[in-house]
Amino acid sequence: MDILVTEELDAPAIQRLAEKHRLLRDGTLWKDAAKLKAAIREARAVMVRNQTQITAEIIAAAPQLVAIGRLGVGLDNIDVPAASKAGVVVIAPLDANATSVAELTLGLMLALARKIPAGDRSTKAGGWDRKGCTGIELDGRTLALCGYGRIGRRVAARAEAFGMRVVVFDPFAGAETPGRCGRLEDALAQADFVSVHMPLSAETKHMFDTGKFDVMKRGAFFINTSRGGLVDEAALVAALRSGQLAGAGLDVREVEPPRAATELETLDNVILTPHIGAFTAEAQTRTIEAVAADIDRVLRGEPAQNFVNFAQPRR
């Protein structure tokens, strides 16, 4: 077998790959590490979304592996250093879904500011609660962007078009970055909206905790389209319950899908979406086409174009 696909994935690009290479698809493999370990043994390439955990152990169990294709951007489910060490290239088209995630972020901000879900719920229930649905404008408000990479910068451009003032916390952003703050707390304290766009790592896990919510302006809104693990969900619930935060928009959760309903599901001022930041027709097509083309290249002995590590193909 040349290519193993471990999550639900169907697209013309996959069909084309299947015509050229021996491709095995099992959308349940991500749920069972032992089954994955057995299935990957013969694979030369593996294609994953964000659910499959490609650990050092899994890579070690795949002696034929030369490429990991990540249909997305977050790399927290792949042990990239272990892949590099094993000579396995990690393919991820980093620009392919940034616009979609940025647009969802603006959507969540607008939905929170204008109470669109509450208006929808109450109107469908027979109400006509114009007063209860009184919102605020984005125009003139301050947005703090935590992480100013591909997505953060696209959100900034769109927010500025709405008349927002943008401040930025990103330790790796250049000094010339407009609105750059040296400390996260300085950005948070100014913001009416806080939006998170940084990777999840050991260093950033639970970065947004009680201390961070406390320094935010009372009545601010919090949006996370990055990774659930960046946020201490219990602290977020407490901040929402106390009124310290006016609302939250979360596309990502610490456990996905959540194993049991938490308090977040019970709060009217919280909008939850099922990790759909990259789920637009355009982003999916761009991503799958780019990864499939690179997998084909690597299997034919050519270098990948969208790689995130430096690894010499083993064969």
Closest distance between ligand NAD and the C-beta of residue 185, in Å? 12
Residue 107 one-letter amino acid: G
Closest distance between ligand NAD and the C-beta of residue 199, in Å? 4
Given 44, 153, 197, 227, the catalytic residue: 227
- Indicate the helix (H) or strand (E) that contains 39: helix 33-39
Given 256, 263, 289, 297, the catalytic residue: 256
Which of residues 66 and 71 has its CB atom nearest to ligand NAD in the complex? Answer: 71
**What is the number of H-type helices and E-type strands within the chain?**
11, 11
Q: Strand locations in the chain, DSSP E?
A: 3-5, 23-25, 45-48, 67-70, 89-91, 142-146, 165-169, 193-196, 220-224, 245-250, 270-272
Strand partners, 177: none
Which of residues 148 and 221 has its CB atom nearest to ligand NAD in the complex? Answer: 148
Instruction: Give the residue among 264, 225, 229, 227 at the shortest CA–CA distance from 247.
Output: 264
Which of residues 23 and 309 has its CB atom nearest to ligand NAD in the complex? Answer: 309
Which of residues 62 and 224 has its CB atom nearest to ligand NAD in the complex? Answer: 224
Closest distance between ligand NAD and the C-beta of residue 201, in Å? 7
Which of residues 79 and 251 has its CB atom nearest to ligand NAD in the complex? Answer: 251
Question: CB neighbours of 253 closer than 8 A, spacing ≥ 6?
Answer: 228, 233, 272, 275
- Whether 165 is catalytic: no
- Whether 256 is catalytic: yes
Closest distance between ligand NAD and the C-beta of residue 107, in Å? 12
- Whether 206 is catalytic: no
Question: CB neighbours of 303 closer than 8 A, spacing ≥ 6?
Answer: 297, 313
Q: Applying CB under 6 A, which residues contact ligand NAD? A: 72-74, 94, 97-98, 101, 146-152, 169-172, 197-200, 203-204, 225-227, 251-252, 275, 277-278
| Cα 91 → chain centroid | 17
Residue of closest CB approach to ligand NAD: 149
User: 154 burial class (0-12, 13-18, 19+ CB within 10 angstroms)?
Assistant: buried
- Alpha helix segments (H runs only) across 162-225: 184-190, 210-215
* Strands lying side by side in the sheet with 89-91: 23-25, 3-5, 45-48, 67-70, 89-91
Given 44, 141, 154, 275, the catalytic residue: 275
Closest distance between ligand NAD and the C-beta of residue 253, in Å? 11
* Residues designated as active site: 227, 256, 275
